[in-house]
Amino acid sequence: MPKSKSSSTTPGNVSLLTEGDGRALAVQMLREANDIGLNDLAIHEHERHGRPQNNLVLRYLDALRKADSRRADIGFCSVLSDFIGTCTDGSPAIDPDFYQQAFH
């Protein structure tokens, strides 16, 4: 059964100063995406059954902008670049815990 959760965590409850902070924020976002599920994240309205899109990426980018840390931007984007590259290669999506463990 598809996941459907309309909660919206507000990112940025942590300081965003380092690449590690940015990577941690990306992991938080990927975990939230798993919790929300495709139906609420989908761009197509019919998949969301009339509900507005949960644009979690925008919320996380807003947190990065507020922090104004290029190092955090780099860390955040490095995780997302790897994740997107893996998905577009046809490989199964990587569990967010992989990224958490890779940098600790």
pLDDT in tens, the chain (104 residues): 344 344 444 575 557 899 999 999 999 999 999 999 888 888 988 888 888 999 999 999 999 999 999 999 999 999 999 999 998 988 888 888 888 887 76
- How far is residue 21's CA from residue 76's CA, in Å, rounded to a whole number? 8
3-state class (DSSP) for residue 49: coil
| Amino acid code (one letter) for 30 | L
103 Cα distance to chain centroid: 17
Residue of 29, 12, 37 whose CA lies nearest to 79 = 29
